[in-house]
Amino acid sequence: MAESTILIKDAKLVFTGETKSVLIKDEIIAEIDDVISEENVDKVIDAKGMILSPGFVNTHTHLSMSLFRGLADDYDLDSWLNDYIWPIEANLNENYCYIGALLAAVELIKSGTTTFSDMYFYMEDVARAIDEAGIRGVLSYGMIDFADAEKRENEFRENISLYENCNGMSDGKIKVFFGPHSPYTASKELLERVRQEANKYNTGIHIHVGETQKEVDDLVESTGMRPFEYLESLGLLGPDVVAAHAVWLSDNEIDIIKKYDVKISHNPCSNMKLASGISPVAKLLENGICVSLGTDGASSNNNLDLLEEMKFASLLQKVDTLNPLVLPACEVLKMATINGAKALGLEDEIGSIEVGKKADLILLDTNSVNMTPDSSDLCSNVVYSANGSNVDTTICNGKILMENKKLTTLDEEEIYKKARIAIKELKEMN
Ligand SMILES: C[C@H]1O[C@@H](n2cnc3c(N)ncnc32)[C@H](O)[C@@H]1O
Ligand SMILES: [Zn+2]
């Protein structure tokens, strides 16, 4: 196959403010320089005045839940899951999950996210959607056994066959993790075996932990341990674990997270909307813990826009600690990029603009009202002022997925049409 080259000309690098050109050869960032020759370049993107950022990494999603946007607003987690979400999820199928994932992919690309980590059902159909979309993703099957041994066998079959069929697919852009849902839905036996299987397959674990006070209280009552203490006692924890939420944490649990180098996916919008609580993120960061950002699903958020998530993450910590210095823009942007890459074990491949890394890059326009004037710190523009609609160009693995705000791989109108039909049918079944 002939080499394909893209030259991004004269963009402003978000972390340094310098104006540079970036040459992409196939899927790799090949050169970053003041001036790069256009000779033999297949495609030149004139990025004058635009901000170049690493593509965002969303470390906790449920893509297909985009179908449930606005379906069950204003409940707490317990009632949201039990009374609304799990009943409608019982009617999901391959086609609905595929369409939901396509809908989510449109939103991810348009808001500058090039990598996500998803836990859900019918994941091979999610993989198919993601492969068409061209983004990078870590997929896990949401394993729930409620202590039923037969169900447990099924959950392992599902996650293992997902691994066998999809890990490494889409030119290596798709990876597969194990996805035990949480300490309150997955039994001790399931959680113990997940560690063994993750070691055997040399892959990671994606789990919800410590999301609500009720979760902590119930677990303390049944086991005498708080969620991270319990997971430690089962031998589940390690640097390959991404724990979503981690809202209710004791000091001992923070020590445990640090000791095992567990990665945290902070989901401020979902935590606020479900009234779950405030994760002590400033304290986690002070302790050197790797905190990344996630949106959760579009039914508890209600969008997948990491630009919005970054701003909420920063503001929520400032108001919680009454300290405006915590989570400055630059640190939050790192949470949404390099920390996300680290959380998913992809820091050698993505998460920063460096020669040799995969070309997962986005351009934000600055010629719009909320981006005028430029601050001296471009991270400030991106984190505090921008929103998804400022993303002009999205490139993943050296492939342009959106240019001049127009998608290249997906037909958004067609997807909206199918999504509207899908949710209408699902509601009628319920
Ligand atoms: C994979 C499973 O996780 C559920 N799910 C979605 N969002 C959350 C959340 N914030 N907390 C716990 N479970 C959640 C999905 O509804 C699905 O049942
Ligand atoms: Zn979740």
pLDDT per position as a tens digit, 64-108: 999 999 999 999 999 999 999 999 999 999 999 999 999 999 999
* Ligand 1 midpoint to CA 239 (Å): 23
Mean local confidence (pLDDT), 205-214:
98
Among all chains, which residue has been given the structure tokens 């209408």? 424
* Ligand 1 midpoint to CA 59 (Å): 14
Neighbour-count burial for 276-302, b at 16+ CB within 10 Å, e otherwise: bbebbbbbbbeeebbbbbbbbbbbbbb
Give the pLDDT confidence score for residue 6 in this predicted structure.
98
> Closest Cα to residue 210, out of 230, 227, 224?
227
Q: What is the mean pLDDT of the chain?
A: 97
Binding-site residues, ligand 1, Cβ < 6 A? 62, 77, 81, 85, 89, 119-120, 142, 181, 208, 211, 270, 296-297, 300
Give the pLDDT confidence score for residue 26 in this predicted structure.
97
Enumerate the domain spans of the chain. Answer: 5-54+353-404, 56-343
Among all chains, which residue has been given the structure tokens 């400033």? 282
CATH of 56-343, one of 3.20.20.140, 3.40.50.1820, 3.40.630.10, 2.40.10.120: 3.20.20.140
Position 1 pLDDT exceeds 50: no
Decide: 388 and 58 in contact? Cβ < 8 Å. no
Q: Which atom of ligand 1 is nearest to the CA of 274?
A: 10
Fold matches, 5-54+353-404 and 56-343: no
Ligand 1 pocket mutation, candidates 76, 141, 181, 190, criterion most atoms within 8 A of CB: 181
* Residue 377 Cα to chain centre, angstroms: 25
Ligand 1 pocket mutation, candidates 58, 81, 178, criterion most atoms within 8 A of CB: 81
CA distance 206 to 59: 9
Ligand 1 pocket mutation, candidates 67, 75, 85, criterion most atoms within 8 A of CB: 85
* Ligand 2 midpoint to CA 304 (Å): 12
* Ligand 2 midpoint to CA 37 (Å): 46
Position 362 pLDDT exceeds 50: yes
Report the topology of domain 5-54+353-404.
Urease, subunit C; domain 1 (2.30.40)
Residue nearest to atom 17 of ligand 1 (CA): 120
What would the two tokens of residue 346 be?
A: 């992809």
- pLDDT tens, position by position, 224-265: 999 999 999 999 999 999 999 999 999 999 999 999 999 999
245 is in an annotated binding site: no
* Residue 151 Cα to chain centre, angstroms: 28
Q: What's the whole-model pTM score?
A: 0.98
Q: Which ligand is nearest to the CA of 90?
A: 1
Give the pLDDT confidence score for residue 2 in this predicted structure.
52
* Ligand 1 midpoint to CA 304 (Å): 15
Mean local confidence (pLDDT), 149-176:
98
